[in-house]
Amino acid sequence: MLENKNHSKTPIKNLGEFALIDHITKGFTIENESSRYGIGDDAAVLDHGKDPTLISTDLLIEGIHFDLSYMPLKHLGYKAVVVNISDIYAMNSIPKQITVSVAISNRFTLEAIEELYKGINLACKNYKIDLVGGDTSSSVTGLIISISVLGSAPKKKIVKRNGAKENDLLVVSGDLGGAYTGLQILEREKAVFKVNPNTQPDLSKYTYCIERQLKPEARKDVIELLDELEIIPTSMIDISDGLSSEILHLSKASEVGFHLFEEKIPIDPEVSMTSEEFKLNSTTSALNGGEDYELLFTINQKDFEKIKNHPFLSVIGHASDLKGGCKLITGLGHQIELSAQGWQSFT
Ligand code: ADP
Ligand code: MG
């Protein structure tokens, strides 16, 4: 039934649910001791020992969260895992297991679902995560993916959004605005393609931005670095919606204000150049773009020496008193109140 010698596509209905589950899950191996029992029974058995277990879930719907006209299925599978496990890293914890549930319409062939699972498997391998279960269903139209992730960490290391204190330093990993800029490029190419399907776009000068959009990575390395440096952030969050909105979350949970310095926001040169081309303000992309999956955290000033000059950590501001609110200090020294809905360019 799975023979596919003439490279034709295999309708999912040729397999049936159980054969499909066997087929898509067979390439996965178990890496973590805490995954005592994975796929194949009514439930998985996990044992994280004495450490607390963390859990987080995401739901991704075709047409709302992803667009398959420019998102290859393998990338989608990879990204779906990455954005999910990023939430566990954002608690200074280590993701260990995922469950993946999919609802598939008859538009998708077996080969398409294989691509999706190739991406999921690659992310599992890169981040040492075990697929321990899921559910498989059909949908009327479109693809729906729901991923739950389980992780663990010693209780004293778990970092929430609510521990920032006045004068703590505000730190971000990597650089910002790339994923949003990449999305603008892909949307433009999609529009061009609609008008003229014969064009072959040259996207080579946008490689970084497109990669940030199509193949984001979660900052496992930052969590490992913090551990090595013996720094426990006072608060932390991952950047899924944009720097501005995440700062406001830390502010609300921790009951502090923030001063953010525009000139300190890390932006890749390709992002700056592409922003100019698109008449975008790169600060705005960093503040409101989202999907960068970098980590934003606060540390006590005593830890500054340990992180200063680190190539992928930038101090971008500090916590202040709650009454002062959350302010962007521009290059010219103007103060602008941060807002979650979208900060308006001051130019
Ligand atoms: P149930 O009837 O109890 O829901 P299923 O037949 O749906 O069981 O699932 C059988 C096994 O396969 C379970 O271990 C389940 O977790 C796993 N599984 C089902 N669908 C998926 C999937 N899409 N990805 C990974 N594991 C899956
Ligand atoms: Mg089921």
Does 42 contact ligand 1 (Cβ within 6 A)? yes
Quick check: helix, strand or coil at residue 48? coil
Alpha-carbon distance 250 to 160, whole Å? 9
Counting atoms of ligand 1 from 1, which one is nearest the CA of 39? Answer: 14
Name which residue sits closest to atom 5 of ligand 1, judged by CA.
135
- E strand or H helix at 22, and its extent? helix 17-25
Number of C-beta neighbours around residue 26 at 10 A = 9
Task: Determine whether domain 169-337 maps to CATH 3.90.650.10.
Answer: yes
Counting atoms of ligand 1 from 1, which one is nearest the CA of 100? Answer: 24
Residue 2 banded pLDDT, cuts 50, 70, 90:
very low
Q: Note the pLDDT tens digit of each residue in 133-166.
A: 999 999 999 999 999 999 999 999 999 999 999 9
Structure token pair of residue 219: 């900052």
Please tell me the distance between residue 138's alpha carbon and the centre of ligand 2 in angstroms: 11
Average pLDDT over residues 60-65: 94
Counting atoms of ligand 1 from 1, which one is nearest the CA of 135? Answer: 20
Name which residue sits closest to atom 6 of ligand 1, judged by CA.
18
Please tell me the number of the ligand nearest to residue 99's CA.
Answer: 1
Please tell me the distance between residue 90's alpha carbon and the centre of ligand 2 in angstroms: 30
Q: Note the pLDDT tens digit of each residue in 258-312.
A: 999 999 999 999 999 999 999 999 999 999 999 999 999 999 999 999 999 899 9
Lowest mean pLDDT among 5-9, 21-25, 73-77, 230-234: 5-9
What is the model's pLDDT at position 343? 42
265's CB contacts (< 8 A; 6+ apart) are: 172, 176, 243, 283, 286, 287, 314, 316
Does 131 contact ligand 1 (Cβ within 6 A)? yes
- Choose among 309, 20, 333, 67: nearest CA to 186: 67
Second CATH level (architecture) for the domain 42-157: 2-Layer Sandwich (3.30)
Alpha-carbon distance 214 to 82, whole Å? 11
Please tell me the number of the ligand nearest to residue 25's CA.
Answer: 1
Name which residue sits closest to atom 2 of ligand 1, judged by CA.
42
Strand 313-320 vs strand 235-238: parallel, antiparallel, or unpaired? Answer: unpaired
Does the pLDDT at position 197 exceed 90?
A: no
Please tell me the distance between residue 203's alpha carbon and the centre of ligand 2 in angstroms: 41
Average pLDDT over residues 192-207: 88
282 in Cβ contact with 268 (< 8 Å): no
Lowest mean pLDDT among 115-129, 175-189, 260-274, 328-342: 328-342
Give me the residues paired with residue 126 across strands.
none
Does the pLDDT at position 126 exceed 60?
A: yes
Does 11 contact ligand 1 (Cβ within 6 A)? no
Please tell me the distance between residue 150's alpha carbon and the centre of ligand 2 in angstroms: 19
Please tell me the distance between residue 114's alpha carbon and the centre of ligand 1 in angstroms: 16
Counting atoms of ligand 1 from 1, which one is nearest the CA of 38? Answer: 14
Does 3 contact ligand 1 (Cβ within 6 A)? no
Instruction: Describe the crossing of helices 207-214 and 178-195 by its angle, rounded to 10 degrees.
Output: 100
Residues of the chain with CATH 3.30.1330.10: 42-157
Alpha-carbon distance 217 to 281, whole Å? 24
CA angle 116, 118, 122 (to 5 degrees): 120
What is the model's pLDDT at position 200? 80
**Candidate from 21, 24, 132 with most ligand 1 atoms within 8 A of CB, to mutate:** 21
CA angle 66, 69, 74 (to 5 degrees): 65
Please tell me the number of the ligand nearest to residue 101's CA.
Answer: 1
204 in Cβ contact with 312 (< 8 Å): no
Does 317 contact ligand 1 (Cβ within 6 A)? no
Place of tokens 């691509």: 115
**Percent of the chain at pLDDT exceeding 70:** 96
Please tell me the number of the ligand nearest to residue 18's CA.
Answer: 1
Does the pLDDT at position 346 exceed 90?
A: no
Residue 89 banded pLDDT, cuts 50, 70, 90:
very high
Structure token pair of residue 5: 């010698």
Does 47 contact ligand 1 (Cβ within 6 A)? no
What is the model's pLDDT at position 194? 87
Does 25 contact ligand 1 (Cβ within 6 A)? yes
Alpha-carbon distance 159 to 297, whole Å? 9
Residues of the chain with CATH 3.90.650.10: 169-337
> Which parts of 260-330 fold into alpha helices (H)?
269-277, 282-288, 304-307
**Candidate from 23, 45, 135, 145 with most ligand 1 atoms within 8 A of CB, to mutate:** 135
Average pLDDT, the chain: 94
